[in-house]
Amino acid sequence: HKTANTLSRYIAIKEEQAQKTKEDLLVLWTDYFKPVHLEKYPDLHDTFWKAAKLCSACKVEVSLEHANELLAAVEKIHNMFWATKEREVTWYKAS
């Protein structure tokens, strides 16, 4: 019983975090990045679209593969974002 309860909590947190990540990505995509950024990052829209889709996949299923793909996509967006500000900010994962 305790294990099932813990697992259900972990799954709820996973789904909440995937939704929060999706919301944050959509704000960056629609409010921060401008057409001028497409010159330097022609794959910007595709990168964000795929990352948002990965958020959805992470919400729907328990998949380490999709979680790792999402982390890689978020890292790429992190690097794009900070490059537009001409700053180097180290990517790290909380663990």
Output the tens digit of pLDDT for each of the chain's 95 residues.
679 899 999 999 999 999 999 999 999 999 999 999 999 999 999 999 999 999 999 999 999 999 999 999 999 999 999 999 999 999 999 87
The structure tokens listed for 49 are 């679209």
Domain coverage including residue 62: 2-84
Structure tokens at 60: 């729907």
Residue 95 lies in a domain: no
Exposure of 59 by Cβ count < 10 A (0-12 exposed, 13-18 middle, 19+ buried)?
A: middle
pTM of the entire predicted model: 0.90
Whether 94 maps to a domain, the answer reads no
Question: Could you give the CA distance from residue 6 to residue 33 in angstroms, rounded to a whole number?
Answer: 39
For residue 18, being part of any structural domain is answered with yes
Residue 13 neighbours by CB under 8 Å, 6+ apart: none
Six-digit token pair at 19?
């939704």
pLDDT recorded at residue 16: 97
Domain contains 93: no
The CATH number of the domain holding residue 66 is 1.20.120.400
